[in-house]
Amino acid sequence: MYDYVIFTDTGCDILPEKLREWDVMNIDLTFRVDGETREYTQAEIPTKRFYDNMRAGTVYRTAAANAETIANALTPPLEAGSDVLYVAFGSGLSSTANTAKLVGEELRAKFPERKIIVVDSLCASAGHGLLLWFAVEARREGRTIEEAEAVVMKNLPGLCHWFTVDDLVYLKRGGRVSAAAAFFGGMLNIKPVLHVDDAGHLIPMSKVRGRNASIKALAKKFTETAIDPANCTYFISNGDCPEDAKKLEQIIIDEHGNHAALITEIGPVIGAHSGPGTLAVFFVGTRR
């Protein structure tokens, strides 16, 4: 039996069945249809339908977890005598991590005998998920909560996120590209290659023409910066484009003989901002 519980939230894009396999508790982040007030959790709208709705013109808005939601999730294991390690959606893209840290301070006053550690992943999607996996592996190896935190923090600075998107309109809505860039990018079949910087912000890095070129660009970044590309653990996530995810993995297999440890879906919390056709690879590299 573990003496601590690992928490995450749906910003990690790890499917519920995989989180159950890892014995990780999840805090639901929510989203809504633009103009409506009802908040949905990821389980309420299948991912395929979510992306089909986006393609048909539906605009979604997301919300960070509030303090009450986080406190209600963390309190039961603390009451049961377990410590808590929460690997949270990165503060560069969400206020969830900062809210969780404030909640942690309040809960420490209520449960002074318990350890409550909140890690700001500075990550998104399965990059967040890969950091979570490091914590899970540390616990599986019998490491203490402090040692699991240390493993996460050791890998965090080099956790690489490389993304491409199929349609710039979704990045335009989030202010990542201009309206003109989105318009002409669509006309000219331009695909951006982006990464997440040291502060956890999504940053456009380069542009290529055509989807195949963008997939190859992601594989090239893996080759150029991954620590031991033939043996390192890497995750791939996709926004309703599983064939492209397999294509990216195959390029890496052909070059390095290394299969993805996990290929997962980008859920609504991330997908609302990046759109259908988003493809990403995550690994620990020599630099972000």
Q: What would the pLDDT profile of 257-286 be if each residue is shown by its tens digit?
A: 999 999 999 999 999 988 999 999 999 999
Residue 136: name the closest of 262, 259, 43 by CA. Answer: 262
Distance CA 213, CA 196 (A): 20
Specify the pLDDT at position 18. 97
Residue 285 is encoded by which pair of tokens?
């590299």
| pLDDT at residue 188 is higher than 50 | no
Residue 109 is encoded by which pair of tokens?
């006053």
CATH architecture of 4-156: 3-Layer(aba) Sandwich (3.40)
Specify the pLDDT at position 170. 67
Going by pLDDT thresholds of 50, 70 and 90, the confidence category of residue 189 is low
Span 117-167, pLDDT tens digits:
999 999 999 999 999 999 999 999 999 999 999 999 999 999 999 999 887
Specify the pLDDT at position 95. 94
Specify the pLDDT at position 171. 64
Pairwise pLDDT comparison (194 vs 37), residue with the higher score? 37
Task: Indicate the range of 6-20, 51-65, 243-257 predicted with least confidence.
Answer: 51-65
Span 228-248, pLDDT tens digits:
999 999 999 999 999 999 999
Residue range 201-228: average pLDDT?
88
Q: Within 13 Å of residue 283, how many CA atoms lie on the same side as its CB? A: 30
**What is the location of CATH 3.40.50.10170 in the chain?**
4-156
Phi-psi domain of 225 (left: phi exceeds 0; alpha: psi -120 through 50; beta: other): alpha
Give me the CATH topology for the region 158-284.
Hypothetical Protein Tm841; Chain: A;domain 3 (3.30.1180)
What average pLDDT is seen over the chain?
A: 90
**What is the location of CATH 3.30.1180.10 in the chain?**
158-284
Specify the pLDDT at position 186. 46
Pairwise pLDDT comparison (234 vs 185), residue with the higher score? 234
H or E element, residue 8: strand 4-9
